[in-house]
A and B are shown apart, each in its own frame.
Chain A
Amino acid sequence: MMGSVVPQSSRSGARASVVRRMALVSKVLPEHPRRLDADSRAWLDSLRPGGGERDAAIARLHAVLLKAARFEVRRRYAAFPHLRGDDWGDLAVQAADDALIAVLGKLGEFRGESRFTTWAYKFALFEAAVRVRRRAWQGREVPLEPERWPLIADGETTPAEGAESRELAVALRAAIGGALSPHQRDVLTAVVVNGVPIDVLAERRGTTRGALYKMLHDARRKLRFALAAAGIDVARPSEGRTP
Chain B
Amino acid sequence: MTRLVRTDHDRFVGLLVGPAEPELTCEECFEQLDRYVDLAAARADIDAAVPGMRAHLEGCPACREDHESLALFVAGAAAVSSPGLRS
Contact = CB atoms under 8 A, between A and B. Distances in A.
Interface stretch (A14-22, A83-91, A110-118): A110-118
B4 A153 contact: no
B6 A164 contact: yes
Interface of B is mostly: helix
Contacts of A114: 34-35, 37-38
B34 A119 contact: yes
A157 B72 CA distance: 36
Interface residues of A, number: 76
A137 interface: no
A220 B16 contact: yes
Interface of A: 1-2, 38-40, 42-43, 45-46, 53, 57, 60, 64, 67-68, 71-72, 75, 113-119, 121-122, 125-126, 129, 133, 150-153, 156-157, 161, 164-165, 167-168, 172, 188, 191-193, 195, 197-199, 208-210, 213-214, 216-217, 220-221, 223-224, 227-228, 231-237, 239-243
30 contacts: A1-B27, A2-B26, A2-B27, A42-B83, A53-B83, A60-B81, A60-B83, A75-B69, A114-B35, A121-B34, A121-B77, A125-B69, A150-B12, A156-B8, A165-B6, A193-B16, A197-B62, A208-B26, A210-B26, A213-B60, A214-B25, A217-B18, A220-B17, A231-B1, A232-B4, A234-B4, A237-B7, A241-B58, A242-B57, A242-B64
Given A39-B85, A242-B64, 8 more contacts: A39-B82, A60-B86, A113-B34, A118-B37, A165-B4, A233-B2, A234-B17, A237-B7
